[in-house]
A and B are shown apart, each in its own frame.
Chain A
Amino acid sequence: MASAIRIKGGRVYDPLHGLNGVVKDLCVEDGKIVQECHGAAEVIDATNLVILPGGVDIHTHIASPAVNAARGLRPEDHRLLCCPRKPGLRSGVGFTVPSTFTTGYLYAQLGYTTVMEAATPPIGTRHTHEELNDIPMVDKGCYLLMGNNEFILQYLKSGDLEKIKRYVAWLLHSLKGFGLKLVNPGGVEQWKYGKDVEGLDEKVNHFDVTPRQILQALTWVNEELGLPHSIHIHANRLGVPGNYQVTLETMRALEGKRVHMAHVQFHSYGGEDYVSFTSKAKEMADYINGHPNVTVDVGQVVFGDATTITADGPWQYRLHKLTKNKWYNLDVEVETGSGIVPYTYREKNYVNALQWAIGLETFLLIKDPWRVFLSTDHPNGGPFLYYPWIIKLLMDAEFRSQMLKRVHKRVLSHTMLPHLSREYSLYEIAIITRAGPARALGLRNKGHLGPGADADIAIYVDAKDKEEMFERAAYVLKDGKIVVRDGEVVESCPGRTIFAEVPGDDDLLTELRDKFEKYYTVEIGNFPIPLEDLPFHQAVPTGRPV
């Protein structure tokens, strides 16, 4: 049945088409935005309301074996947020690591309609897809962890780039991944021997390759395959004071190539230890401003409970030693590692408060909003539920300076924040939360409101308090259906799993079968995920851009 909706009289913010608060009617038909409705249409009166494309989260952790392990590790987290069952909706719990259905509902209430799980180990991707299938309301995809894959390191050692390309293509094709993710390239492999890498040119145990080689090879592969999203990098030395050098070095090593640096806040630290800990957001922003090949998401820290979940095993061990909080560590066969540590960011802790300030500096110092995206690296820097709070901090310099007075007082002399009077406009917020990430992901139907776009639309009541405004969307349309009304989910919809359409390569199978028998705990026949296992899916074409 054709469903049509006309959204009348709202102020439209659609940065891709340069619409900055233009009052305009929007027409939706059969799940798409159209120029004009044909025939009868349901009318939403959006007078005085603000219309944005549905939110796009480029980096979050919502589904994977590690996320699920975090749910198990943190029963105390379940008590902090309980969503009872409602007609048509499922119950769920969890504040920093909500259960699947709840994750979907909570994202939708904020006006988000596309989210990307930022790390799944290949062998765990079956689990990841099962969870993604159970996250309603949003379109979703996942990035496959590659940076410490021993097969890739082996091919790299023998200098066979072509084979890496074919293997990566096989992985993406069989596992329905959307992109490539590197986490602490080389370092996680080192962690299997109790070590980490210090810099880009340190040899990785046994394989005789360096993080620099891994970065360059996989970036080359990413571009050769013409994936919609650039390579997605969690650089080496996350969280360690003085790590900004490695981060800059990483970006320099990939100069001229498309590259996405994840949660840069965690990679912009100066100093030698946590006492001399300083901000290097300025240095990072200067580099990023001068290099249009780089996009970043911030990984903003918010105060309160967080659960750190990452494939970066060595860092998680350090964090466990630092906090004495409980720790989960897993060696994922030949692929990667994983670690989980609960964490609480405190206003009165100098390091935490400076981390908070560094994130905001990053937002404010990077001039081009099309290349800096809103994220908390959920749930590492805090749950995504705080996005509205961050938006308020960005849009309201007064609120920012009030917060600055509340946090640890040493921060004031160590941050540029008091001198940054920039305030984001609604138009810029629409870029960093919608249009920008959609463009970086290569999703042509997302993040804008032009004809042909998916009818994923978020409508808000404009309020002076931007936190209040973005906390509860007045309406959210997903594929042209009203799914949220007055901040409450009114109808559940499944959402699609988005993956990159990479041609399969069966020539490699004989060799891989051999390797699987030797090194894996699963049969190669059970490894690929058939399309039937993704009941709602959408392939995004790949190939080099014209």
Chain B
Amino acid sequence: MGEIILTFKGMGGSTVPLEADPITPDLLQLKVRAEIERLPLYHGNEQLLLGDFFSVKGERSNQIRLRGDLSQVKNIGVGMQTGRIVIESSIGMHVGARMTGGEIQVHGNAGDWAGAEMTGGLLWINGSAGNRAGSAYRGSKYGMRGGVILIEGSGGHEVGGYMRRGLIVVRGNLEDHAGARMVAGSIFVFGRVGGRTGGGMKRGSIVCFNPLDVLPTFRLTSTYAPLFVTIYLRALRSRGFSVPEIGGGRFARYCGDLAESGKGEILVWQG
């Protein structure tokens, strides 16, 4: 089975984002080329065809490759269950949101809401992610409920907000409210984090490799060398996600948020 290559032809200078929900391996693997070209896409309030925006090569495959500047293309891989999408540039908002399985590779930056409310699968972003990656949509009780988001660049605000399960790894920095109100799951940040990290968290782990301002509702309980961090880092390296050497690996453990149940933790690397 080959792969389907979709090359973006641009939107004729329009700045209105394109909503590309149908571009998932689940759907495209059932279609021949002509059918793929006829899939409906919304551009603003206009319904047009996939073929109007993409030139299509290949058919009936669960491997999809996207080319061209896609920074104004939203909803790629939303809800996907299987297969693989490789995006050779930056991508717009909601990439991999609500995905349950499969894999998305972004060779560029991702917009806001990357992997929001995802329940499984792997979302690997070579560049930076926007705000609210892996978090809950407005009003939802839980954000990401499983799966892995790997971000080689930095992330925006509220990454991992309301997270319920799963793993987010960020090699760069995060802005404010990382892991805000998270219920469970793990967030690793190798760069710096912004203010109010872990605010309102119930359970879960936020592992930071740089000093941060811990909220007053967190309490320092101990300094120790957690085994699970070593195991996670080894697993990340074995998958090809390079992480810095951390030597002895002792971490200060802050438990919190004590304004909530206080069963969460922020681990801060002590060198």
Q: Give B202's nearest chain A residue, CB to CB.
A: A324
B136-151: contact bitstring with A at CB < 8 Å (1 yes, 0 no)?
Answer: 0111110000000000
In the complex, whether A212 has a CB less than 8 A from a CB of chain B is no
A417 to B129, CA, bound (A): 54
Q: Give B140's nearest chain A residue, CB to CB.
A: A76
Enumerate chain A residues within 8 angstroms of B137, measured Cβ to Cβ: 75-76, 79
Give chain A interface residues in 62-82, CB to chain B under 8 Å: 73-77, 79
Query: B141 contacts A75, CB within 8 Å?
Result: no
A9-52: contact bitstring with B at CB < 8 Å (1 yes, 0 no)?
Answer: 00000000000000000000000000000000000000000000
A76 to B141, CA, bound (A): 9
Query: B141 contacts A74, CB within 8 Å?
Result: no
Give chain A interface residues in 49-102, CB to chain B under 8 Å: 73-77, 79
Q: Smallest CB–CB gap between A82 and chain B, Å?
A: 12
Enumerate chain B residues within 8 angstroms of A77, measured Cβ to Cβ: 139
In the complex, whether A349 has a CB less than 8 A from a CB of chain B is no
Enumerate chain B residues within 8 angstroms of A75, measured Cβ to Cβ: 137-139
B117-138: contact bitstring with A at CB < 8 Å (1 yes, 0 no)?
Answer: 0000000000000000000011
Q: Give B45's nearest chain A residue, CB to CB.
A: A85
In the complex, whether A325 has a CB less than 8 A from a CB of chain B is yes
Q: Give A77's nearest chain B residue, CB to CB.
A: B139
Q: Give A74's nearest chain B residue, CB to CB.
A: B139
Enumerate chain A residues within 8 angstroms of B139, measured Cβ to Cβ: 73-77
Enumerate chain B residues within 8 angstroms of A74, measured Cβ to Cβ: 139
Interface size on A, residues (CB 8 A): 8
Q: Smallest CB–CB gap between B11 and chain A, Å?
A: 22
A130 to B25, CA, bound (A): 46
A73 to B138, CA, bound (A): 10
Query: A325 contacts B138, CB within 8 Å?
Result: no
B189-233: contact bitstring with A at CB < 8 Å (1 yes, 0 no)?
Answer: 000000000000000000000000000000000000000000000
- Residue among B138, B139, B141 facing the most chain A CB atoms (10 A cut-off): B139
Q: Give B138's nearest chain A residue, CB to CB.
A: A75
Q: Give A79's nearest chain B residue, CB to CB.
A: B137
Q: Give B137's nearest chain A residue, CB to CB.
A: A76
A338 to B271, CA, bound (A): 54
Enumerate chain A residues within 8 angstroms of B141, measured Cβ to Cβ: 76, 325, 342
Q: Smallest CB–CB gap between A346 and chain B, Å?
A: 14
A75 to B140, CA, bound (A): 8
Q: Smallest CB–CB gap between B69 and chain A, Å?
A: 29
Enumerate chain B residues within 8 angstroms of A76, measured Cβ to Cβ: 137-141
Q: Give B141's nearest chain A residue, CB to CB.
A: A325
Q: Smallest CB–CB gap between A193 and chain B, Å?
A: 27
A325 to B183, CA, bound (A): 13
Q: Smallest CB–CB gap between B183 and chain A, Å?
A: 10
Q: Smallest CB–CB gap between B117 and chain A, Å?
A: 10
A74 to B139, CA, bound (A): 6
Q: Smallest CB–CB gap between A215 and chain B, Å?
A: 38
A76 to B117, CA, bound (A): 12
Enumerate chain A residues within 8 angstroms of B138, measured Cβ to Cβ: 75-76
Give chain A interface residues in 305-336, CB to chain B under 8 Å: 325
A77 to B139, CA, bound (A): 8
A342 to B142, CA, bound (A): 14
A275-292: contact bitstring with B at CB < 8 Å (1 yes, 0 no)?
Answer: 000000000000000000
Q: Smallest CB–CB gap between A205 and chain B, Å?
A: 32
Q: List 6 A-B contacts (CB under 8 A).
A: A73-B139, A75-B138, A76-B138, A76-B139, A76-B141, A342-B141
12 additional A-B pairs beyond A76-B137, A325-B141, beta carbons within 8 Å, are A73-B139, A74-B139, A75-B137, A75-B138, A75-B139, A76-B138, A76-B139, A76-B140, A76-B141, A77-B139, A79-B137, A342-B141
Q: Measuring CB to CB, which residues of chain B are less than 8 angstroms from any residue of chain A?
A: 137-141
